A and B are shown apart, each in its own frame.
Chain A
């Protein structure tokens, strides 16, 4: 009864039923009565995870390695326990960002990166191709097995002529269906309600079919689970399948669990049904247990069927991957075999349809369109009917992907069991996991890190899984796998760097995750994020913190009052009211503040606002009041950019104000200094007047005495006149000093700088002061001038003035009895050092600084008779500073004082000295 036409007819009828369901689903969606707004449908659609790999391949794997197939289903169970935190977060982020695929998701998180989106798309296409080819292979194999009923003949596709290969026609039909389901029209949200409905239906079909076969085998052929396992145990050879043994098997168990935990989210088709097609995130709650339950149910009979197959076909002539069909066929159950075939068909078609649609969306949105839009010549961005181009690209992608899958199965697939091919794809999809985890939990993950991680992981995947599969099919020499490339054993793709003893999948998973995760973390830590990356990172990671408000924002409806208030905020209340009044007049409507804002008044307000704050900002502001979702993240980004420019601007302002502040401080300091100088000047004038008035007063009084008393005796007259002369001299000395100092301070005095011999200068000064010592016999002078003093650079007269000043001071303040003055000159570290020491009254510590200031003399100025002009030391200091030297005093009250000064040696002399020392050293 199972002839080719019958099988084909049933299969086509089944596909037509699918299409009808999809059509109905879309129609209901258009009417707003969604068929899939139901958690059970959602959970069933997620069961697209169970492909023909589950349907046929699990039994095949169970028959060879026992319970080893189970981690593929335990992993998703574990992930779904925490789905409420992990998957719901991804769903929420995707809804906010209008994400249409996993490539979109990753690209969007890492700064809307085109490179990243393209890379993810390429990895997805290359990685998933084997998986699609696996489905095609399963359909064509099951078809040929069923075709030979009642005989059980294994197909040998290698001998099939190209055009007679059912796989090709299956591929084309699948492509057609995917196009019909997925690309009938372009929808902004990329949701395909009809497709989801059909997929959910397929999930029911495959479960029912598998359970039917399982129940028949377990309870029809045998007396329940116990009997099958008892017989298996009795056969001896099958006992080994009861356990998993060895480190490799345990490692494989763990890595398969991890692979499946990730794959349930990051496989493009899973992302599609879980995230993109999700209509209400509350549906996830039921899916959290319903989907794992589905997995449990569809796996319960895997082991019984596997053991039954092994018991029924002990010779090994029947491929374990076809046991689900072969066992009913062997037991002469054509109806059941047909049901099993339809179940397998549903599993495969569901996968192909969703996967190709997901890939087509990715290829179109994240690879082709960005490229096309970048090619300026096409002027695509100016065109209005982009939708038709989008559809064309997607349809072409679907056909291409399915045909590539077919090519893969023709060229490579023959050498692999179903499960192994599927796992290669799992390992490829696993490359998305670090980027996704980084995307939703680590704000610091950068685009460069994600790019590096994905690229590295993908390259390692190619090396450890894809290239060896090419070697198996004979494209590359087999020695590549066995001996490593160029015979380098460390680089053997199945035992990289000596990691041996693992199955290829675990081996590849370990290496790819190490490289991928390592690069993501390492590069992220070393690079920094752009503004858009950072804002996206915050939005992704903190999605729940932000959307608590945003969620409310979505549903809320703005009132006209809100708009009026908003407008008032920016253009003033009076103008806002006037604008609204104008709108009322023009549209002949009455606006109530509590009335809902319709699109007319909204766009009117927006236009008004745009005049004030610019169009983009107005859009955002109105949207915030409308509490509607922001449709275009680009606009938000634009605002953000403007904001960041503002930040830069305000930083500049801050900088400027800081500079101003600094300038103000300087000004204030200068002002203080000016005030001080002014005060000094006042003091100076006051002091000068005082100093000048004292001699003037005595000159004047003595002159008056002389004028008014002409009869004064000669002696007295002589005495008064000499006082007048003395005081006049003192006065002119004082005025000379003042002028001198003023000139020096103003920098206008003339300096005759020359190289001088110190001894000559000192002797000249001594000669000038000889008169003083002639008058004061009680004072002895002792001079010690070092021999061969090098020349100094100074003005001879000025320097003489300094020394004379110091000596005359010493004479003035010397001890009344046995006065001793010592003058010493020597060379001291590049300077000429001169000390003038007396044994006089000394200078108090407090006065030692003061005496170098103008008109400041030691002691009490009011009680003590001034001993000089008070300008000698200040002038000396000015002179020495001019020469580049300085002057200071060391003294103790009552124990004499030592005035010291130093003047730098002339440069040529200093250099000569150094040269001389060098020459000595060389000798």
Chain B
């Protein structure tokens, strides 16, 4: 689904997305006193987006991790996340 080696970009994109969806302008769309599935719209929105964001982060970091594991025992040089294991350096 995602090209490998893009974890870094993906995480930064998710961060920006999170900063955007949790901030007032977008938040205000759901800032209504109505309920969705019995839950106030704002609450539902926040928790749903939050959960989705966490799931995406987990997917992003653990997907690469799983690849590493499949590749057999880690090379020593990967111990510090320097090479391909995990997101690349800042």
Contacts and interface: CB of A to CB of B under 8 A. Distances in A.
Q: Are A and B a genuine interacting pair, yes or no?
A: yes
A85 B14 CA distance: 13
B38 A226 contact: yes
A227 interface: yes
A250 B89 contact: no
Contacts of B35: 226, 229-230, 233, 242
Interface in B69-84: 76-77, 79-82
Interface string B36-70: 01111111001100110111011001100100000
A547 B65 CA distance: 22
Interface string A193-217: 0000000000000000000000000
Interface in A47-93: 67, 70-71, 74, 77-78, 80-82, 84-86, 88-89
Q: Is the interface of A mostly helix, strand, loop or mixed?
A: helix
B5 interface: no
A81 B40 contact: no
Nearest to B30: A243
A628 interface: no
Interface in B11-40: 11-12, 14-15, 18-19, 22-24, 27-28, 31-33, 35, 37-40
Interface string A259-299: 00000000000000000000001100110111011001000
A227 B38 contact: yes
A34 B18 CA distance: 35
A250 B24 contact: yes
A552 B75 CA distance: 12
A555 interface: yes
Interface residues of A, number: 49
B39 A296 contact: no
B18 A88 contact: no
A243 B77 CA distance: 51
Contacts of B46: 67, 70, 74
Contacts of A85: 8, 11-12, 87, 89-90
Contacts of A250: 24, 28
Contact of B80 (A226, A244, A257, A547): A547
A524 B39 CA distance: 50
Contact of B79 (A81, A82, A282): A282
Interface string A227-258: 10110010000011011110000100110010
Contacts, number: 132
B33 A289 contact: no
Contact of A74 (B11, B22, B77): B22
Contacts of B87: 84-85
B11 A239 contact: no
B33 A74 contact: no
Contacts of B51: 296
| Interface-central residue, A224, A282, A300, by most chain B CB under 10 Å | A282
A257 B11 contact: no
Contact of B57 (A81, A88, A225, A282): A81
A224 B38 CA distance: 9
B72 to A, nearest CB: 17
Given A229-B35, A253-B27, A282-B86, A81 B58 contact: no
A219 B42 CA distance: 21
B22 A285 contact: no
A412 interface: no
25 contacts: A67-B46, A74-B46, A77-B50, A78-B19, A80-B57, A81-B18, A81-B57, A84-B61, A84-B86, A226-B35, A227-B38, A242-B33, A243-B31, A244-B31, A253-B27, A281-B81, A282-B81, A285-B65, A285-B81, A285-B86, A286-B62, A288-B61, A289-B54, A293-B58, A544-B90
Given A81-B53, A227-B38, A296-B50, 19 more contacts: A78-B19, A81-B15, A82-B15, A85-B12, A88-B90, A225-B38, A226-B35, A226-B37, A230-B35, A243-B42, A288-B61, A289-B61, A290-B58, A296-B54, A303-B43, A544-B90, A547-B80, A551-B79, A551-B80
List the 7 closest A-B pairs by CB distance, nearest first: A226-B38, A85-B90, A289-B58, A242-B40, A544-B89, A250-B24, A551-B80
Interface of A: 67, 70-71, 74, 77-78, 80-82, 84-86, 88-89, 224-227, 229-230, 233, 239-240, 242-245, 250, 253-254, 257, 281-282, 285-286, 288-290, 292-293, 296, 300, 303, 544, 547-548, 551-552, 555
